[in-house]
Amino acid sequence: MTRSPRRLKQQVQDTVGEQVRDLPLHAVRLAMFGVGRALLLGDRVTRDYKEITEGGGVKPVLGRLRDDVQTTTVKVVGRVVER
């Protein structure tokens, strides 16, 4: 039995819609941000590795990591102080 593209499209939309409606909104947000952050981290690691191996040295990479740690620390301390 062959299905028309329109019918198949509608069936997929209905199925996906039901599954998404069943998920809490917060879980969807976490999943989206988790995937995005993982992709960004992967890109960052790749770029840092290239920079180290192509002669850029370790210093710029360590400087970026230091800046990231400082930024994260400021955010966390700010949230703790607010509470």
Domain carrying residue 30: 5-82
Query: How many domains would you assign to the chain?
Result: 1
CA distance 25 to 22: 9
Q: Token pair for residue 75?
A: 């955010």
Interval 12-57: pLDDT, tens:
767 666 655 665 666 666 677 777 777 777 788 888 888 888 888 8
* pTM: predicted TM-score of the whole model, two decimal places: 0.47
With beta carbons less than 8 A apart as the criterion, state whether 28 and 44 touch.
no
CA distance 64 to 48: 9
CA distance 83 to 70: 20
Q: Give me the pLDDT at residue 7, please.
A: 80
Give the other-Cβ count within 10 Å of 44's Cβ.
14
Q: Give me the pLDDT at residue 22, please.
A: 60
